[in-house]
Structure 1
Amino acid sequence: MSSNSDYQIGRDSDEEFTYRGYTLPELRDMEVTEFAELLPARKRRSINRGLTTEQEKLFEKADARDSEESANRPLRTHLRDMPILPQFVDKTFAVYDGQNFERVRVQPEMLGHYLGEFVLTRRSVEHGQAGIGATRSSKFVPLK
């Protein structure tokens, strides 16, 4: 990665958020294809190939929704492969992890990532304790 300031993402202590030199209002005014040119290759290619019909529906719903309304009711989706676009910032999504819908509040720093990156699908394994005098074959203790 180059040390060029064009690639700086995020904000310093008192500065406004910028993504590759553009502020959030400027990013929201861009077309999706214009924003795709700022993204890394994999995300840019997925947008240039065209969003699926489900992804387009999610984009339209999120674009039409006010940020106050989305704080109360998140948009439920199974689309873990949806790239996070500027129109999604400050909105809440409920992303499916395989069992439940987990809430994700989109922050400006999440631009260019996928929704599924912020909802883990695997949980850490917690094994039970073996009893006193347990043999090798009886060390399994169910968690429930």
Structure 2
Amino acid sequence: MYSYQPNLRKGYSEDDLKKLDIESAMKLVKSRARRAIKRALEGKSIEFRKLILKVRKLKEKNSKKLQEGIKTHCREAVILPEWIGLKFLVYNGKEWKPVEISMEKVGHRLGEFAFTTKFEKHAGPGIGATRGSKFIAMK
């Protein structure tokens, strides 16, 4: 018989994750994401750094933009634990795609959840598509 397992990520609950500072949160993500966060903090990845500062400023003000969604073009931004529960509008090249941040998305990139290409499911061939379908009656 299985017992109820609370929602945990690497041993942390959702509330514990939200309280983590960036330095301790870097230990929870993979090395590639760790490097991207480190570069943003050093000022080498300017766009990502601006996004981190923008989110902090909006959280301090308790702005209504947090409910509407924070617009960003920065698809390569690594999702941080302090962003859990926020809504981002990520630009995919044509429109703004909403991305709700949950515990499972921490450590991934924003662009992974805003697809740039639309999945197209094609139907079967139509009339005139092949040589044999030319002579099929329309009615």
Q: Structure 1 length as normaliser, TM-score? A: 0.70
CA RMSD of aligned residues (A): 2.7
In percent, how many aligned pairs have the same letter? 33
The answer to which structure, 1 or 2, has the higher relative contact order (CA under 8 A, 6+ apart) is 2
2:66 to 70, 82, 92: 70
Deviation (angstroms), 1:81: 0.6
Tell me the distance in 1 between the aligned counterparts of 2:66 and 2:18.
17
2:46 to 48, 53, 59: 53
Tell me the distance in 2 between the aligned counterparts of 1:43 and 1:26.
20
- What are the ranges of 5 or more consecutive residues in structure 2 without an aligned counterpart? 132-139
1:43 to 26, 33, 39: 33
Report the more deviating stretch, 106-115 or 19-28: 19-28
- What are the ranges of 5 or more consecutive residues in structure 1 without an aligned counterpart? 1-11, 137-144
Deviation (angstroms), 1:133: 4.1
Pick the structure with greater CA Rg. Answer: 2
CA change 1:68–1:50 in 2 (3 A) is closer
Q: Structure 2 length as normaliser, TM-score? A: 0.72
Tell me the distance in 2 between the aligned counterparts of 1:68 and 1:14.
34
Deviation (angstroms), 1:115: 0.6
Q: Match of 1:19, as an amino acid?
A: R
Tell me the distance in 1 between the aligned counterparts of 2:64 and 2:5.
25
More helix by share: 2
User: Aligned residues, how many?
Assistant: 123
CA change 1:128–1:23 in 2 (3 A) is closer
